[in-house]
Structure 1
Amino acid sequence: MNKEERQKIIRQLISQNTIETQEELLALLSRNGVNATQSTISRDARELSIVKTYQEDGKIKYTIVDQASEKDSEKKLREALQGSLKRIEQVAFIVLIHTENGLADVITNYIDEVKYEEIAGTIAGSDTIIVITHSDKMAQSFVNKIELLFKSRE
């Protein structure tokens, strides 16, 4: 099976099922006649813009990110921050965002979707996000944006 066929099946499985882990996705692929490795699925996930998102019940599921508008992405980021932000701090040109445990990777995906001009890159742990900006001034600008999002109600 070629990559395009495998990715088509992955898109279909994600849109039709609630999949919480790559292991679940691998099992579903196997049941659908697709043999793939974890690294292949990870690569496919990046190429297909598959991210972890939260459902209304708080459970994580894989979702294919459509090319949403910046406003939609910022709305998702605001909602995620309002439910999980613990603390934000600036250390020179680096911003540390502390979240509830297990939520940093999801919030990082939303930050990456918005594509803030200040950001050079992001790294997510379980409860901490490291945001590397281009300068101290840009770090402060980013902190201000996050604080406004956290405090705002649509």
Structure 2
Amino acid sequence: MKTDRRSRILEIVSNKDIETQEELAEELRRLGFNVTQATVSRDIKNLQLVKMLNSKGRYKYVISRDEGKDMGEKLVSILEQTVVSVESLDKFVIVKTITASASAAAEAIDQLDLTEIAGTIAGDNTIFILVRTVEKARDLVEKISSMMRK
């Protein structure tokens, strides 16, 4: 029963935009599964489903594609998927992201542990990075830009 339910969950999230655990539970109930939110929560964790922004700017559950990646690749993947533009202004680097992604992108940048960065501040879709020198700011723009192109 558990294997069949989890197979159906993968099928559902592959074919529909499911935003919440309750929506997923409702879909499963329509298919005849007697589930609680707690059961759905455990299934989501075990299946390693993650939430991503869809084309309408809303979150949905998706099947994680990061299973075999090391942490560095995951961090670069976050930047690839969220960063829209990057530029330097004096000792600042300004990174624009898709809506509601600046915190995740800033955390990814912080986790890269780059010594030229003094600190980051993230809003909803903008990150301000203070860099130690103007030259290092330009170098950081190149690093982030190259990550966006992968």
TM interval, short-chain normalised:
0.5 to 0.7
Which residue number in structure 2 is paired with residue 37 of structure 1? 36
Look up the match of 1:78. 79
Q: Which residue of 2 aligns with 1:135?
A: none
Distance 2:141 2:37 in 1: 37
2:78 alignment partner AA: L
Q: Which has the larger radius of gyration?
A: 2
| Deviation readout 1:99-139 (Å, 9 max, x if unpaired) | 9985489x39x96xxxx798xxxxxxxx7xxxxxxxxxxxx
Distance (whole Å) between structure 2 residues aligned to residue 64 and residue 57 of structure 1: 18
Go from structure 1 to structure 2 and tell me whether the alpha carbon gap of 1:81 and 1:12 turns closer, same or farther (over 3 Å shift).
Answer: closer
C-alpha distance 151-26 of structure 1, shift in aligned 2 (>3 A): same
Distance 1:4 1:117, change over 3 A: farther
Q: Which runs of 5+ in 1 are unaligned?
A: 84-98, 119-126, 128-145
**Structure 1 counterpart of 2:61, which letter?**
Y
The aligned residue for residue 21 of structure 2 is: 22
Distance, in Å, in 1 between the alignment partners of 2:34 and 2:4 is 12
Q: Point out 4+ residue stretches in structure 1 off by more than 2 angstroms.
A: 66-76, 79-83, 99-105, 146-153
Relative to structure 1, is the Cα distance of residues 103 and 42 closer, same or farther in structure 2, using a 3 angstrom cutoff?
farther
1:61 partner SS: strand
How far apart are residue 8 of structure 1 and its match? Answer: 1.0
On the 8 A contact 1:51/1:65 being kept in 2, the answer is yes
Question: Residues 15 and 148 from structure 1, CA distance in 2 versus in 1: closer, same or farther, beyond 3 angstroms?
Answer: same
Looking at structure 1, the residues matched to 50 and 10 of structure 2 have their Cα atoms a distance apart, in angstroms, of 12
Q: Deviations over 1:27-64 (max 9, x none)?
A: 11111111111111111101001000112332211001
Give the letter aligned to residue 61 of structure 1.
K
Is the 8 Å Cα contact of residues 81 and 150 (structure 1) preserved in structure 2?
Answer: no
Deviation at 1:82, TM superposition (A): 2.3
Aligned partner of residue 52 in structure 1, secondary structure: strand
* 3-state secondary structure, aligned to 1:13: helix
